A and B are shown apart, each in its own frame.
Chain A
Amino acid sequence: MNAMPNTAILSAAGIHKRFGALVVLDDIDFAMGADEAVGIVGPNGAGKTTLLSVLSGAYPPSAGSVSFKGDDVTALAATQRCRLGLVRTHQVPKPFSGMTTFENVFVAASHGAGLARDEAYEEALASLKLCGMLGVANRRAETLGLLDRKRLELARALAAKPTLLLLDEIGGGLTDGEASELVETIRELRRRKIGIVWIEHIVHILLQVAERLICMDAGKIIADGEPQAVMADPQVIGAYLGGGPK
């Protein structure tokens, strides 16, 4: 297991999350430094998205606490955490239909980051440019294809001015070329010193960005460390591929 960073920007201690009798997160301890890019993998039902939801404030934990920039944010709503710089994307993009791409991103800059009108305008434009979306800025969001919807999800999150970005399966369904563009955009975020937590099923894409990899299974962290070592861990392979008799 990886040692916890001395100066954590985000940490979670003793996190449990239950939905009725179902235990989805089972005593999770997690911490990361401000400049880290952490990948999270694990089979379906491992609890990855639920962990992201607890970290971002979408779900309250059943037990445990979340700290961001040294402050306990467990009681803060997702909107409040977003204002602090803890921003997430969603696995299934859900743009505001009836609004243009630009308007979608402008909402994130003005409401997510709390910027005044002119500043929000500039931030929205910069986010669209970074994500290669200026060409579709005036298109209604519901007319966008899958790649552009994923880009919009990222552009909205960036317009909220994150210190730490939580990405949930942003690479799913993309072609090789599209995935390559996505990796380049996320590398640019790294150059801008934005911390990343990225859940991704497409492991070979994730490994191009993640400097540290966590594997979850059945609500627990089963491996945490250097990505290639984690992917070679027999426990990790067993979690994905089973261990039935051969």
Chain B
Amino acid sequence: MSLLSVEDLVVRHGLLQAVRGVSFSVERGETLALVGANGAGKTTLLRAIAGAHQAASGRVLFNGADLSGVPSHSRVRNGIALVPEGRKLFVQMTVEENLLLGKTAGRPGEWSVEKVLDAFPNLKPRRHAKAGHLSGGEQQATAIGRALMSNPDLLLLDEVSLGLSPLVVDRVYASLQGLISSGTTIILVEQDLNRALSVSNKVICMLEGRVALAGDSRSMSREEVTKAYFGLHRKSATGVPA
């Protein structure tokens, strides 16, 4: 049984169908990278898995249980944690307080404030600083740490490198590599294709709300993904090769 199975999922934003019948599965210990142009539906898909955006139809099965209709806070208790785009920290609270909020899900496990600070050493001297006073990289580390504090079976990461300098992104990814090596199951939305391919073992390229390409990251060429990314891998809407 797969850890996560997404079956024919449809998600709308008002008149717009952002996710159009997407199906895929993730096994325990895998890292899946979701790539695609802006508006392809990656963030909406991630939010629908987390329960932050209600799906119009289709199913999300987690550990075999159908989560359709289950609210996001209950999904955290089921073991799904989302690190949202833009981090969404409580800026008036300290790093430690933000991290402890992740603990309120009440899931048993190994993650503690100390362990998060070990995984993200740049947070150690900032433990009692307000989140609003942190740098972008420190905020991102806090957001990931907060999600880890719920001891998730599945970690959903949305654009963790957005707005960070290349050096800071390197640091965040070095920490992520540690999580991946320890067997954490991750779905990662990432704009930088090389980074996405380098840390993942599976990749899905989305285009206009659908899966345009899916496969093994290590056997997928940058050129192959690029064609899928721009929709140049298929017949065009008018039947003429684009």
* A residues with CB within 8 A of B: 43-44, 145-146, 149, 172-173, 176-177, 179-180, 183-184, 201-205, 207-208, 231, 237, 240-246
- B238's contact among A145, A184, A202, A243, by CB below 8 Å, is which? A184
Chain A residues with CB below 8 A from B193, complex form:
241-242
Q: Give the contacts of B175-197 with A (CB-CB under 8 A).
A: 191-195, 197
Is B67's beta carbon under 8 Å from chain A? Answer: no
Chain A residues with CB below 8 A from B222, complex form:
241, 246
- B198's contact among A177, A237, A246, by CB below 8 Å, is which? A246
Contact yes or no, B198 A207, CB < 8 A: no
Chain A residues with CB below 8 A from B121, complex form:
none
Q: Which of B100-108, B146-154, B226-234 is found at the contact surface with chain A?
A: B226-234
Chain A residue nearest in CB terms to B209 = A173
Contact yes or no, A237 B226, CB < 8 A: yes
* B residues with CB within 8 A of A: 15-17, 35, 37-39, 166, 169, 191-195, 197-198, 208, 222, 225-226, 229-232, 234, 236-238, 240, 242
By CB atoms of chain B within 10 A, which of A149, A177, A184, A205 has the most?
A: A205
Assuming the contacts A207-B242, A208-B242, asked whether A202 and B231 have C-beta atoms less than 8 A apart, the reply is: yes
Chain B residue nearest in CB terms to A41 = B230
Chain B residues with CB below 8 A from A146, complex form:
15-16
Assuming the contacts A208-B240, A242-B194, asked whether A43 and B38 have C-beta atoms less than 8 A apart, the reply is: yes
Assuming the contacts A43-B38, A172-B39, A201-B38, asked whether A246 and B238 have C-beta atoms less than 8 A apart, the reply is: no
In angstroms, Cα B129 to Cα A77, docked, is 49
- B192's contact among A184, A208, A231, A243, by CB below 8 Å, is which? A243
Contact yes or no, A201 B39, CB < 8 A: yes
- B194's contact among A183, A184, A243, by CB below 8 Å, is which? A243
Chain A residue nearest in CB terms to B223 = A237
In angstroms, Cα B49 to Cα A128, docked, is 41
Chain A residues with CB below 8 A from B231, complex form:
202-205
Chain B residue nearest in CB terms to A177 = B237
Contact yes or no, B238 A180, CB < 8 A: yes
Contact yes or no, B197 A204, CB < 8 A: no
Given A146-B15, A149-B15, A207-B242, 9 more pairs with CB closer than 8 A: A44-B38, A173-B17, A184-B238, A202-B208, A204-B234, A208-B237, A208-B242, A240-B230, A246-B197
Contact yes or no, B242 A241, CB < 8 A: no
Chain B residue nearest in CB terms to A147 = B15
Contact yes or no, B194 A204, CB < 8 A: no
Contact yes or no, B226 A241, CB < 8 A: yes
In angstroms, Cα B35 to Cα A176, docked, is 21
- A244's contact among B169, B225, B240, by CB below 8 Å, is which? B169
Contact yes or no, B39 A208, CB < 8 A: no
In angstroms, Cα B192 to Cα A201, docked, is 17
Contact yes or no, B230 A245, CB < 8 A: no
Distance in angstroms from B20 CB to nearest chain A CB is: 8
Assuming the contacts A146-B16, A173-B17, asked whether A208 and B195 have C-beta atoms less than 8 A apart, the reply is: no
